[in-house]
Amino acid sequence: MQIGPYRLKNQLIVAPMAGVTDQPFRNLCIRYGAAMAVSEMLSSNPDVWDTDKSRLRMTHAGEDGIRSVQIAGSDPELMANAAAVNVQQGAQIIDINMGCPAKKVNKKLAGSALLQDPQQVEAILKAVVAAVDVPVTLKIRTGWAPEHRNGVHIAQIAENCGIASLAVHGRTRQCMYKGEAEYDTIKAIKKQISIPVVANGDILTPEKARFVLDYTGVDALMIGRGAQGRPWIFREIQHYLDTGNKLAPVETDEKRQLMLEHLKMLYALYGDYKGIRFARKHVGWYLNQESQRAFRAEFNRLVTVEEQCSMVEHYFDEFAAN
């Protein structure tokens, strides 16, 4: 798949997820086979850029792979300016968020709320494409509500405005993350436009990845929640796409080293205080089985870097002993 001058090595992309796809997570997913990882959503409002959260999201030193930065907002001028600033900061691709279903985003008429206003969609896309000399991509949902699936129309607007590729989550805004993703709208979009189309939603296994590719005819897949606590899912999917066979489960020693490295990357990026809190979330995803509930509860009470690392080490030592 080609996005502007960038040729992706395969068909697997990490979906942008607020509070998840920070630089450590993106780099790990790239290491495990993702062709590209899109950053966490950045507000187009410059008033919030001076916060620690925004500064960290706008920093790309040490970034592995193609630097794709997602921006969100509803004002064409602010969105264009945000795109230009992020390109100056090192973004190689600008991605526009018109898919986020969160209330705090939608109440500002941003994210998936924009799908209700095709004219505003067009104004934003034209402004951003004109403001930068890098490829601009777009992420949408299939529509605002099941009875208002206008994804095909939005996709046609995107192509006409010069969008380089389009990612589509197979749910409407009203659906949030409930129920099952539907791929008929994505399939219809792929038939109607000539730019690359990326399917997103409920791609949790290698078998599902194969099905979605075959059913929709899309150019690539975008994987979000399926990678939480499983950055190796990209390696598993690529192996299955290449061979038709499933890889053996990740070895315990590899998972141990990966988790410890991930923790240290979080501490280095956020500092101990915030790093400890982000670590709780990620460890909860890595060890999410019912049998690991007591471990998670105890881990979430720890307040030092040393305690967290020691507890993870001890968990795997006990696992190896049994």
Mean pLDDT calculated for residue range 3-30: 96
Q: Which two structure tokens, joined as six digits, stand for 45?
A: 């409002």
- pLDDT, one tens digit per residue, over 295-314 is 999 999 999 999 999 999 99
pLDDT of residue 101: 86
Which positions are annotated as active-site residues? Answer: 100
Mean pLDDT calculated for residue range 77-83: 96
- pLDDT, one tens digit per residue, over 186-199 is 999 999 999 999 99
Mean pLDDT calculated for residue range 276-284: 97
- pLDDT, one tens digit per residue, over 133-158 is 999 999 999 999 999 999 999 999 99
Question: 49 pLDDT band (50/70/90 cuts)?
Answer: confident
What residues does each domain of the chain span? Answer: 2-243, 252-321
Specify whether domain 2-243 bears CATH 3.40.30.10. Answer: no
pLDDT of residue 106: 79
pLDDT of residue 60: 72
Question: 322 pLDDT band (50/70/90 cuts)?
Answer: low
Question: 7 pLDDT band (50/70/90 cuts)?
Answer: very high
- pLDDT, one tens digit per residue, over 209-226 is 999 999 999 999 999 999
Residues marked as binding for FMN? Answer: 16-18, 70, 139, 169, 200-202, 224-225
Residues marked as binding? Answer: 16-18, 70, 139, 169, 200-202, 224-225
pLDDT of residue 21: 93
pLDDT of residue 143: 95
Question: 100 pLDDT band (50/70/90 cuts)?
Answer: confident
pLDDT of residue 36: 97
Mean pLDDT calculated for residue range 161-174: 96
